[in-house]
Amino acid sequence: MADPNERNLEKYSVQRFPAVGNPDDAGYGRCATWVQAVSHGFHQQRRDDEYLAKTLAAYQTDQRQLTGVYVNGSVPDHSLGADVPVATYATMRKTLNIGFGRQLESNLVTAVTVRGTHRRNGILRGMITADLESAKDDGLAMAALTASEGSIYGRFGFGVATFERSIKVDAGPRFRLRGEPEGTVEVADPAVLLDVAPKVFERVQRLSPGSIDRQEYYRLVASGSIGHDGKPDTSVRCALHYDLSGALDGYVSYRFKGWEHKPYTMEIVDFVAATNAGYLDLWRFLGSIDLIDEITWAEAPVDDPLAWALEDPRCIDASEIRDMLWLRILDTPAALQARRYATAGRLVLDVADPLGLAGGTWVLESDGGAAAVVRDAAGETPDLSLDVADLASIYLGAVSPVTLAAAGRINEKRPGAALEAQQLFAVERSAHCLTHF
Ligand SMILES: CC(=O)SCCNC(=O)CCNC(=O)[C@H](O)C(C)(C)COP(=O)(O)OP(=O)(O)OC[C@H]1O[C@@H](n2cnc3c(N)ncnc32)[C@H](O)[C@@H]1OP(=O)(O)O
């Protein structure tokens, strides 16, 4: 395979370094300049010292590896210095719940930017190809990202594996949930979430297919310790849910959008419930807050129990179903072997991979129990031919292979094989990912 970095070798050099969180430590300045370049790439404001320090401390906790691409030699007078990367890229390792409680360590890709004056020179291609190869060499079977645009990452073998949607919920008199509360809700100082949020999330991570273990930033945002500008967000409030035994099993943090904003709206900042009762009781609470007409949530599940718990499901005004988690299988037999399949079945899969990392023909055999057998089936007639990106899409059960066959993406060589794949890849509850990165 041609080296994707080849055409840029003379022009640029690549540096890979760990995030350094302490301003007094060597390497902090390079990391701070790197964060400024990311802000530039996403059209955000220049960051002040407080933002940089908080952000890099969180990055260090997550053990993020930062990549910067730098121009070789000198740069023209008055332009950004050669110490400012023209491209950024970061990774961290977190676990992905792949159904039935199984966790798969994954390479999370984030902060991908290329400065406008250097775009379309193959810099992204060089960075991502090198990174996916090195993650595979490290023994990882999966990479993941959330994408700014839908047209970028399919060519690198990423497929959409979960979705989310924005909702507005009418909190007026027609907001009524079926059933009775099964616990209690108490309002708390949001600062408690610094401690509580990771503990509750840890339970969700164990229970929810599609969930990705969270980065440090989440508890800071949920507790209002850091807002978009790096300063504490004092508008954040929070409520906690306790089950019938008094154990804490869920929280919601939220902010009022202000009296000038009509209808009067409470915006959910973070909503994590480890039990069905906790989820519904926290919604009961949100729907009962006086003076509030509407509750908004930008990260709601598409298959949402709330819709079925409401006496009037039209209280939910849903818009904008979006792709959320994109997966990239790095090692097909390892990824298939890692999953648990709830039904028995046998499928020969012919997987194509444009980057040459995970292609081949494999037979997947499951007896519906805990273990599945995956072995090389080179030469066998495939039941399904598909791109590695499409295998990633069906991997968490959130995208139907039948639909992908209808779209001409999966080639069903044996009639009925796509439906069998749909049944095999099903998970115990709809995949949803509450972690953006
Ligand atoms: C995980 C995340 O962080 S998602 C965030 C991604 N970043 C952004 O959206 C910030 C703004 N955009 C950018 O910084 C850049 O345009 C990037 C990072 C998207 C692309 O970087 P570049 O170095 O220009 O990409 P590169 O030249 O390597 O292109 C690789 C291929 O992707 C294609 N491509 C790149 N960007 C896009 C795009 N936005 N839409 C469609 N195709 C694209 C190129 O045409 C090229 O195709 P080919 O190799 O098949 O001919």
Domain assignment of residue 89, yes or no? yes
Q: What's the CATH code of the domain at 360?
A: 3.30.1050.10
Q: How much distance in Å is there from the Cα of 119 to the middle of ligand 1?
A: 8
Q: How much distance in Å is there from the Cα of 268 to the middle of ligand 1?
A: 31
pLDDT band at 4 (very low <50, low <70, confident <90, very high): low
Domain assignment of residue 371, yes or no? yes
265 shares a domain with 240: yes
pLDDT tens digits, one per residue of 388-428: 999 999 999 999 999 999 999 999 999 999 999 999 999 99
Q: What's the CATH code of the domain at 253?
A: 3.40.630.30
> What is the residue with the minimal CA distance to atom 26 of ligand 1?
122
ipTM computed for the complex: 0.97
27 shares a domain with 73: yes
180 shares a domain with 285: yes
Is there an atom of ligand 1 within 6 Å of 151 CB? yes
201 shares a domain with 130: no
User: What integer is the mean pLDDT of 317-329?
Assistant: 94
pLDDT tens digits, one per residue of 141-160: 999 999 999 999 999 999 99
Global pTM reads: 0.96
> What is the residue with the minimal CA distance to atom 20 of ligand 1?
124
Q: Alpha-carbon distance 327 to 147, whole Å?
A: 11
297 shares a domain with 183: yes
207 shares a domain with 232: yes
Q: How much distance in Å is there from the Cα of 179 to the middle of ligand 1?
A: 49
pLDDT band at 370 (very low <50, low <70, confident <90, very high): confident
Where a domain ends, among 319, 342, 368? Answer: 319
Percent of the chain with pLDDT over 90: 93
> What is the residue with the minimal CA distance to atom 44 of ligand 1?
120
pLDDT band at 374 (very low <50, low <70, confident <90, very high): confident
Is there an atom of ligand 1 within 6 Å of 7 CB? no
304 shares a domain with 342: no
Q: How many domains does the chain have?
A: 3
Domain assignment of residue 18, yes or no? yes
Neighbours of 265 (CB within 10 A): 18
130 shares a domain with 250: no
Q: How much distance in Å is there from the Cα of 149 to the middle of ligand 1?
A: 9
pLDDT band at 184 (very low <50, low <70, confident <90, very high): very high
pLDDT tens digits, one per residue of 287-315: 999 999 999 999 999 999 999 999 999 99
Domain assignment of residue 152, yes or no? no
> Rounded mean pLDDT of the chain?
96
Where a domain ends, among 140, 156, 189? Answer: 140
Domain assignment of residue 327, yes or no? no
Q: Is 73 exposed, middle or buried (0-12, 13-18, 19+ CB in 10 A)?
A: exposed
Is there an atom of ligand 1 within 6 Å of 107 CB? no
Is there an atom of ligand 1 within 6 Å of 124 CB? yes
Is there an atom of ligand 1 within 6 Å of 227 CB? no
292 shares a domain with 354: no
Atom of ligand 1 nearest to the CA of 123: 23
Where a domain ends, among 91, 124, 140? Answer: 140
Domain assignment of residue 273, yes or no? yes
Is there an atom of ligand 1 within 6 Å of 145 CB? yes
Atom of ligand 1 nearest to the CA of 121: 27
pLDDT tens digits, one per residue of 246-258: 999 999 999 999 9
Q: How much distance in Å is there from the Cα of 120 to the middle of ligand 1?
A: 7
Q: How much distance in Å is there from the Cα of 427 to the middle of ligand 1?
A: 33
User: What integer is the mean pLDDT of 90-118?
Assistant: 98
> What is the residue with the minimal CA distance to atom 43 of ligand 1?
152
168 shares a domain with 38: no
Domain assignment of residue 153, yes or no? no
177 shares a domain with 126: no
User: What integer is the mean pLDDT of 166-180?
Assistant: 97
Domain assignment of residue 155, yes or no? no
171 shares a domain with 315: yes
Look up the domain containing 344 and give its range: 332-424
pLDDT reading at 1 higher than 50: no
Is there an atom of ligand 1 within 6 Å of 75 CB? no
Is there an atom of ligand 1 within 6 Å of 128 CB? no
User: What integer is the mean pLDDT of 215-221?
Assistant: 97
